[in-house]
Chain A
Amino acid sequence: MTAVISNWSHDNQERAKRIIASYPEKRSALMPLLYIASLEHAYVSDDAMREVAELTGITPVQVQSVASFYTMFKRGGVGDYLVSVCTSISCYLGGADDVLAAVESSIGDVAGEAAAERPITVEHVECIGACGGAPAVQVNYELIEGVTPEKAVALIKWLTATRPEVILTDEMQQLFGGRRSFEWGSTDSEGAVRPIPAFGPYGSVGGGSVGGGSAGR
């Protein structure tokens, strides 16, 4: 069998090779390779898991076992905007369920369900570390604190209508946020361009601005 890696972009193939070479055991490269697989399509497809299995010398189901544990490795298509509503305890007490319901009804989507053809995918997530500004919401992993159901609906409308190229946390916070947990200090001017968490070491700064892929923008 030959590796089916060929449908990855050249950059990502090179990146994968470098990463594998940096570990004494090939299988140690599993997590970074899954991340690169997400860079390709914004999610980890069955084919991608087969590719990663072949590259790391383990079986696809062993890859799947890891990939399916981490909820940030998406298993299905994700829209251009991934809206993550926190429903853990602080946000829950702050009314996160209403926020989620408002978001869902405003796009007619069900949280967590794959919706590749839709521009917006909604999910509910566990604590995203913004308890002080609960309820909190992320768009493409960029944070907004103090979100109310009304503001959440406005956020969805805004995303649908303006289709922003770059998601900027400060901009969203100003338009749709409420009280911030604290003054964050540094402002992030880079923002996110894809529904992928930023991760510099493996080639993605600001949600996949580097390398790109076949899907996304």
Chain B
Amino acid sequence: MAEHGTVSIIINGVEHDVPEGERLITAAERVGEYIPRFCHHDKLAPVGKCRMCLVEVEGPRGSALTTSCTVPVTDGMVVHTETDVVKKAQEGILEFLLLNHPLDCSVCDKGGECPLQDQALAFGAGESRFIEEKRTFTKPIPVSELVLLDRERCVVCDRCVRVADDIAGDPLLEFIDRGSYVQINTFPNEPFSSYFSGNTVQVCPVGALTSVDYRFKARPWDLESVRSVSLVDSVQSSVDVHTSRGKILRVYGAENDAVNEGWLSDKDRFIFSAFRSPDRITTPLVRDGDGFKETSWSEAVELVAMRLGGHVGTEVGAIGGANGTNEEAFALAKFMRTVVGSPHIDAQLGDGLDPHLASSITARGTISDLDAASTILVWGPDLKETLPVLYLRVRKAVRNGAALVVVSPYSTGLDSIATHSLRYRAGSGPEILRKLAHGDAGYEAVTETLANGPVVALVGRSSITENPMLAEAVAAFARSLPHAKLLPLLTRANVFGALDMGLAPTLLPGRVSTGDAAGVSLLEDSWGPLPESAGKDTMAMLEALIDRDLVAVILAGADPIRDCPDPAVAESALDAAEFVVAFDAFMTDSTRKAHVVLPAALWGEVDGTVTNLEGRVQRLRRSVQPRGMSISVSAALDDIARAMGAELGAADWQLINKEIAAVAPAYAGMTADYLTFEAGEEGAVVPIPGATQPLGHIPVEVNVPVVTGRFTLHLAPALYDAGVLVRNSHMLEGFADPGVVRMHPRDAASLAVADGDLIDAEGVGLPVKIDPEVPERSVVITRNLDTTRGIAASADIRVETVRGEP
């Protein structure tokens, strides 16, 4: 008898201990016996569809062929995987699978990495007895704008259907005409428009589902694969970046069970097409009248050094840094605090959370804590729109039995599977929190659910219009729940890394508060004296620019005009600034106001480390050379520092990486070498054993006012908005909504407007969409669309009917 939790099975005469209850195919693979398969997939429920995994299992009535992907191992199980009977079965199944499968491997994207090709070679008979004509279909047909389908290649494994249905929750792909004419298809005029459609391309074991973009681009053996991280959102999914001749050709989800379990959102998968956009900034630019003229790096560096050096340090601010690596963020923090001598640094744009809450929340959970949660509380941005891969993880937990409580001012992607979904009028969050905390009448069922721990609470701002202090109060409440773990929700890709590197007015590298005297003096030992005055956050910096308290500002991949709550303030601030230098890959509303624009490398083009919303650090690896003359922000800052007569020590990312491990207490020992050689593919969560975590943030219950006013505003985030990368990606642009003002039917009635009528929302004209999901006296507008980006993120909004020509 095997030890506890394992059972002993005999495969091909050899005894093995394997985990109890595991599926035979997985257990066999664990001990080195590979059983061929098509429909089996580790992350999908077993279906036993393809019959490729037949093995002989001995039973009381002799041995019988059994699908090893559906049977769990039992103690004493005797299995044969290589007998003549098994071989004959495998050959037979392959002969059937190839009955209708075309011999077009030479022009098929999957050729060379095709399980059907490989297994036909390894386990097939080599010849078919079928001489009948094969089935053909019109090919290819689009199942969505991103995915094409060649139906004759399908082996009916059901993987794509299970991904669409079970994983993504978008059951829009199905088998039609089941029987000998079976095919995969969508309903007429109802495409597979899922945020997760690309995963079907990755799991299809043949070339039936292919990516529109990658089709006919390369052969797999010509691809180089680099394991890296997707810097699209703060989940930081693991990816394999496949390149050929210096170009990224496709991005695949990499197995990292701690993070994304191999899944990606389509934004993770296809955003790289923006990297090769013709609109990339590829040379340094300096202002020339109304426009820009190209210049050399050395001239640009001289100019920036001169202009920044010409001001008192505290008159300079820096905004951004949340889209690059930790090393870039650290270099910017060090540059500001030591070379420039300014404490005014912020990676967030007034759209985030208290940096202490975000970086050092206590009882911080991990993504995989969701798997073990009894109850999940989501009170923050719509996960499906902002952190889609985290949305998948919550879906999985719910599928496995966790209860889910969603609290939000508008419907979210998770509502349909929530045990309780509580809706509140935007701005009245504090009210519902109070009721929940006090177990008010009507909320007993919810409080009962929340009393069932362990609880994992995902807490953030449901939208930029929500008071950030509400999140603090929600976190305090969540902390009081049984065995609670918290995950702070900020969405910008490396915002947690940036905060950990000290890109916040109140934080120093390694989760040290600027108010922590011991921490400050420790850092001063290596950095020299730090600026003494208090740092300003982004909104304060913008105000200060208008008031001339600040005169120069550095934008590190930040576009305050788009992203901060008040576009008008950001615009006047940048207009008022004497000097603006922007590191960016694209021209944005804000970079257009800069005096110098420096071409920044994007994440596929730089090396370094990044930190996700759990505090997990992973290696980000360069897969292609930076476009044109782009370089990393840190390398550029190093040059600028030198031109200002200082040494930043940021010429190369590894130097910075070592310095982080040396001076950032929570990151002690977190070197690239540690990540590569010790942490493994999952990365490591800060702090690693041995390091210290000086700052611990215990959220406090604060008194947050309820917003009054005739209409309150929820500026809902959307996955596909008019963000700079989406609009520069030829694959994803055009997916964004046109933009509407959603309101409750009764409000529409009281304003006497109907669906489609134009309405004036704080000066912006938008059509009305009547939507009973919107609470009364509240309006919902999708944020950052071309049509809606002018709307200030104030908590209440003026909505008026447009009286004009009929």
CA gap between A60 and B170 in the complex, in Å: 12
Are A58 and B187 neighbours in the complex by a CB distance under 8 Å? no
Q: Mark B173-206, 1 if CB is under 8 A from A, else 0.
A: 1111111000001111010000000000000000
Q: Which of B176, B188, B190 contacts A65 (CB 8 A)?
A: B176
Nearest-neighbor residue (CB-CB) of A71 within chain B: B179
Given contact pairs A58-B171, A59-B171, A69 touches B187 in the complex (Cβ within 8 A): no
Whole-angstrom distance from the CB of A85 to the nearest CB of chain B?
A: 19
Inside 8 A of B187's CB, which chain A residues have their CB?
A: 46, 49, 59-61, 64
Whole-angstrom distance from the CB of B290 to the nearest CB of chain A?
A: 49
Residue A62 is within 8 A (CB to CB) of chain B in the complex: yes
Are B177 and A61 neighbours in the complex by a CB distance under 8 Å? no
CA gap between A64 and B188 in the complex, in Å: 10
Are B176 and A68 neighbours in the complex by a CB distance under 8 Å? yes
Main secondary structure of the interface of A (DSSP, over half): helix
Are B172 and A61 neighbours in the complex by a CB distance under 8 Å? yes
Are A61 and B190 neighbours in the complex by a CB distance under 8 Å? yes
Are B179 and A65 neighbours in the complex by a CB distance under 8 Å? no
CA gap between A64 and B190 in the complex, in Å: 12
Nearest-neighbor residue (CB-CB) of A65 within chain B: B174
Whole-angstrom distance from the CB of A211 to the nearest CB of chain B?
A: 27
Given contact pairs A46-B188, A49-B187, A62 touches B174 in the complex (Cβ within 8 A): yes
Whole-angstrom distance from the CB of B664 to the nearest CB of chain A?
A: 49
CA gap between A59 and B171 in the complex, in Å: 7
Inside 8 A of A49's CB, which chain B residues have their CB?
A: 187
Nearest-neighbor residue (CB-CB) of B171 within chain A: A59
Inside 8 A of A46's CB, which chain B residues have their CB?
A: 187-188
Inside 8 A of B177's CB, which chain A residues have their CB?
A: 68-69
Q: Mark B229-249, 1 if CB is under 8 A from A, else 0.
A: 000000000000000000000
Q: Which residues of chain B (753-795) have a CB below 8 Å from chain A?
A: none
- Count of A interface residues, CB-CB < 8 Å: 11
Nearest-neighbor residue (CB-CB) of A50 within chain B: B187
Are A61 and B178 neighbours in the complex by a CB distance under 8 Å? no
Are B176 and A59 neighbours in the complex by a CB distance under 8 Å? no
Inside 8 A of B172's CB, which chain A residues have their CB?
A: 59, 61
CA gap between A64 and B175 in the complex, in Å: 9
Whole-angstrom distance from the CB of B417 to the nearest CB of chain A?
A: 13
Whole-angstrom distance from the CB of B414 to the nearest CB of chain A?
A: 17
Inside 8 A of B176's CB, which chain A residues have their CB?
A: 61, 64-65, 68
Nearest-neighbor residue (CB-CB) of A53 within chain B: B187
Main secondary structure of the interface of B (DSSP, over half): loop
CA gap between A38 and B186 in the complex, in Å: 22
Are B171 and A69 neighbours in the complex by a CB distance under 8 Å? no
Residue among A60, A61, A68 with max Cβ neighbours from chain B (10 Å)? A61
Nearest-neighbor residue (CB-CB) of A63 within chain B: B187
Residue among B171, B187, B188 with max Cβ neighbours from chain A (10 Å)? B187
Residue among A46, A49, A62 with max Cβ neighbours from chain B (10 Å)? A62
Inside 8 A of B179's CB, which chain A residues have their CB?
A: 69
Nearest-neighbor residue (CB-CB) of B173 within chain A: A61
Residue among A62, A65, A69 with max Cβ neighbours from chain B (10 Å)? A65
CA gap between A105 and B605 in the complex, in Å: 69
Inside 8 A of B174's CB, which chain A residues have their CB?
A: 61-62, 64-65
CA gap between A65 and B175 in the complex, in Å: 6
Inside 8 A of A62's CB, which chain B residues have their CB?
A: 171, 174
Q: Mark B549-576, 1 if CB is under 8 A from A, else 0.
A: 0000000000000000000000000000
Inside 8 A of B171's CB, which chain A residues have their CB?
A: 58-59, 61-62
Inside 8 A of B175's CB, which chain A residues have their CB?
A: 65
CA gap between A46 and B190 in the complex, in Å: 11
CA gap between A49 and B188 in the complex, in Å: 11
Q: Which residues of chain B (236-287) have a CB below 8 Å from chain A?
A: none
Inside 8 A of A58's CB, which chain B residues have their CB?
A: 171
Q: Which residues of chain B (590-622) have a CB below 8 Å from chain A?
A: none
Whole-angstrom distance from the CB of B686 to the nearest CB of chain A?
A: 42
Q: Mark A149-188, 1 if CB is under 8 A from B, else 0.
A: 0000000000000000000000000000000000000000
Q: Mark A28-50, 1 if CB is under 8 A from B, else 0.
A: 00000000000000000010010
CA gap between A5 and B175 in the complex, in Å: 25
Q: Mark B285-296, 1 if CB is under 8 A from A, else 0.
A: 000000000000
Whole-angstrom distance from the CB of B315 to the nearest CB of chain A?
A: 57
Whole-angstrom distance from the CB of B172 to the nearest CB of chain A?
A: 6
CA gap between A58 and B175 in the complex, in Å: 15
CA gap between A22 and B479 in the complex, in Å: 44
Whole-angstrom distance from the CB of B275 to the nearest CB of chain A?
A: 34
Nearest-neighbor residue (CB-CB) of A75 within chain B: B177
Inside 8 A of A68's CB, which chain B residues have their CB?
A: 176-178
CA gap between A64 and B161 in the complex, in Å: 14
CA gap between A149 and B186 in the complex, in Å: 41
CA gap between A62 and B173 in the complex, in Å: 8
Whole-angstrom distance from the CB of A1 to the nearest CB of chain B?
A: 11
Inside 8 A of B190's CB, which chain A residues have their CB?
A: 59-61
Are A65 and B178 neighbours in the complex by a CB distance under 8 Å? yes
Inside 8 A of A65's CB, which chain B residues have their CB?
A: 174-176, 178
CA gap between A203 and B174 in the complex, in Å: 30
Whole-angstrom distance from the CB of B200 to the nearest CB of chain A?
A: 14
CA gap between A46 and B186 in the complex, in Å: 12
Whole-angstrom distance from the CB of B82 to the nearest CB of chain A?
A: 37
Q: Which residues of chain A (58-117) have a CB below 8 Å from chain B?
A: 58-62, 64-65, 68-69
Nearest-neighbor residue (CB-CB) of A59 within chain B: B171
Inside 8 A of A64's CB, which chain B residues have their CB?
A: 174, 176, 187
Q: Mark B430-441, 1 if CB is under 8 A from A, else 0.
A: 000000000000
Whole-angstrom distance from the CB of B797 to the nearest CB of chain A?
A: 27
Nearest-neighbor residue (CB-CB) of B170 within chain A: A59
The 6 closest A-B pairs by CB, nearest first: A61-B187, A65-B174, A60-B187, A69-B178, A61-B174, A68-B177
Q: Contact residues of A with B, CB < 8 Å? A: 46, 49, 58-62, 64-65, 68-69
User: Can you identify 21 A-B contacts, CB atoms within 8 angstroms?
Assistant: A46-B188, A49-B187, A59-B187, A60-B187, A60-B190, A61-B171, A61-B173, A61-B174, A61-B176, A61-B185, A61-B186, A61-B187, A62-B174, A64-B174, A64-B176, A65-B174, A65-B175, A68-B176, A68-B177, A69-B177, A69-B179
Q: A61-B173, A68-B178 given; name 19 further pairs at CB < 8 Å.
A: A46-B187, A49-B187, A58-B171, A59-B171, A59-B172, A59-B187, A60-B187, A61-B171, A61-B172, A61-B176, A61-B186, A62-B174, A64-B174, A64-B187, A65-B174, A65-B175, A65-B178, A68-B177, A69-B179
